[in-house]
Structure 1
C-alpha cells in the first residue's frame, strides 16, 4: 500500500467511522458528498488495504462491576517464560490489553477487575512469570 492509494475522502471516511462506526454508508456519504454505495466501496478498499483492521465496541467497565483499572509493567524472570506468559495473557479475561514493550519492562498490561482483592489475586498469579510494577488508574481522561 502506498500513501497515494488513500485520498482525502478516504481519510474523512475513516475519521467519521472512528467517531461513530454505527453510521450507515448513506449517512457517511451525505457528509462526504458520495453515494452510500461509493462509500461502501471505499470502506471495502480500506479493509483490503488493511487500513481498517476491524470494528470494536466501547463499554463502561464500571457499569459491569469492573471498578479497578490498572496498568502493570511485567519484568520477565527469564527468556524461557515468554511463551507461557503470552498464553496466560490470551486466556486471562481481566487482561484487556497487552503490549510487548522496549525500555523499562517486557510487557505493559491494562487490566480491569471488580475489586482490589481481585487485582491482588491476579498479581499473585503473575509472579510465577516475573516481577511487576502496578499503576492504578484514578480517572480516564480519553
Structure 2
C-alpha cells in the first residue's frame, strides 16, 4: 500500500531498519521484514534513486580523537553581500560539523568541533571576517 509520500509500508520498515543500524546486511533486514535479501537490496536502491536515502553515516566519538570542544555558534553576518563568501568559508572548514541557514536570531547556526579552546579562538577570529557571532559550549550530550 502506498503512503502519501509515494513509498510503500514495506519501504518504511526497511528504512526504519537502516536508521536503527545502517550496517545491517540486506539479508538481515529481509529476515525482519519477511523478504529476501535480494528484494531488500532492490528496494534500498529504489529508495536511493528516489533521494529518500541520501547516504549512510557512522556514529563515532570525536573526543576519542582529540576533538574535545563542541561549540554551537550563531552567526550574524555583517552585510547581505557576505553570504556567499561565508558559505564558502564554512563549507570548506573541517571544524564545521553542521551548518543551517535560519530565521529568527542570527543568519546561520553552526555546530563546531575542535581540539582546544585555542583552536576555537582561532576559528572565531577567522569568522569575524564575515560578521559577528554568539557561542555556546556543550557541557554534555543527552541524546
| Class of the TM-score when normalised by the shorter of the 2 chains | over 0.9
Runs of 4+ aligned residues of structure 1 deviating over 4 Å after TM superposition are: none
Please show how residues 74-85 of structure 1 align to structure 2 within 5 Å. Answer: 74-85=75-86
Kindly tell me the number of residue pairs found equivalent between the two proteins.
141
Please show how residues 42-57 of structure 1 align to structure 2 within 5 Å. Answer: 42-57=43-58
Aligned-pair distance for 1:117?
1.3
- Normalising by structure 2, we get a TM-score of 0.95
Matching residue of 2:73:
72
Aligned-pair distance for 1:4?
5.6
- Listed one character per residue, the Cα deviations across residues 14-59 of structure 1 (whole Å, up to 9, x for unaligned) are 1110111110000000000000011011111111111111111221
Deviates more, 1:65-74 or 1:9-18: 9-18
Matching residue of 1:34:
35
Please show how residues 77-116 of structure 1 align to structure 2 within 5 Å. Answer: 77-116=78-117
Query: Using the alignment, how far apart are the partners of 1:81 and 1:4 within structure 2?
Result: 37
RMSD after superposition: 1.1
Listed as ranges, the gaps of 5+ residues in structure 1 are none
Query: Using the alignment, how far apart are the partners of 1:86 and 1:3 within structure 2?
Result: 35
Question: What secondary structure, in the 3-state scheme, does the structure 1 residue paired with 2:24 have?
Answer: coil
- Normalising by structure 1, we get a TM-score of 0.95
Query: Using the alignment, how far apart are the partners of 2:6 and 2:133 within structure 1?
Result: 43
Query: Using the alignment, how far apart are the partners of 1:119 and 1:47 within structure 2?
Result: 37
Question: What secondary structure, in the 3-state scheme, does the structure 2 residue paired with 1:69 have?
Answer: strand
